[in-house]
Amino acid sequence: MTVSRLPSSDLAGLSPQALSLPPAGRGQAIGLFGGSFDPPHAGHLLVAETARRRLSLDAVWWLVTPGNPLKRRGTAATLAERHASVLALAGGPGTRVTSFEAAQGLRYTAETLAYLRARRPDLDFVWIMGADSLASFHRWRDFRSIAQAMPIAVVDRPGSTFAVLSAPAAQALSRFRLPERRARALPGLTPPVFTVLHGPRSATSSTALRKSRMMRPSIAS
């Protein structure tokens, strides 16, 4: 049984399925793509789909988080609203959407990955992130334990290509970088190991979309 450590209001509007781990067969390669997704957009979809195709993943799990500790609170849509938006954007084959972290009281990525490895040791997980997230990766709690937990796929994003080489975390992990030409082998490798994937890119950002949403004039009745 799922036991929530969050107020019930935070889970309002979410089904038991949305708060559970997605199904997966033993030995499958699963990409994990986490974020607040406020809102989700084409750039997110490109990151997830680039990783799914290039790494031959059986599925990508979009982990809709309760909130990002490194981002300011106050403008976020509810968890249920963000979950529904991700489903609308990325609900196709090879995609699973889950908000299980909220039900389990998991706030940090390191906690989530430890939980998943303990619950599903039979799966080959890969953590997926955009290159823009790599720039602040060294500020994530226990970022080194994240790198030790599972292979990482960094997908290039507009304006962030240089971060792949210059980011503190990239420099700290540089000796574990897998050449892109060998990226398909990533899911079965023992961490720490990461690779950088290049492909179609979108400059859309959640920050810009939120600002546009907040500045949109209301229509008087």
Do the domain assignments include residue 15?
no
Q: What is the CATH number of the domain that holds 152?
A: 3.40.50.620
Do the domain assignments include residue 218?
no
Predicted confidence (pLDDT) per residue in 79-92, tens digit: 999 999 999 999 88
Q: Where in the sequence is the domain holding 68, given as residue range(s)?
A: 21-201
pTM: 0.85
Predicted confidence (pLDDT) per residue in 121-177, tens digit: 999 999 999 998 998 999 999 999 999 999 999 999 776 666 677 899 999 999 999
pLDDT at 204: 52
Q: How many domains does the chain have?
A: 1
- For the ranges 30-34, 72-76, 121-125, the lowest mean pLDDT is seen at 72-76
Do the domain assignments include residue 101?
yes
Do the domain assignments include residue 212?
no
pLDDT at 210: 41
Do the domain assignments include residue 39?
yes
**Mean model confidence pLDDT for the chain:** 86
Do the domain assignments include residue 207?
no
Do the domain assignments include residue 208?
no
Q: How does DSSP assign the chain, residue by residue? A: -----S-GGGGTT--TTTTSPPP--TT-EEEEEEE--SS--HHHHHHHHHHHHHTT-SEEEEEE-S--TTS--SSPPPHHHHHHHHHHHH-STTEEEE-HHHHHT--SHHHHHHHHHHH-TTSEEEEEEEHHHHTTGGGSTTHHHHHHHS-EEEEP-TT-TTHHHHSHHHHHTGGGEEPGGGGGGGGGSPSS-EEEE--------HHHHHHHHHHSPPPP-
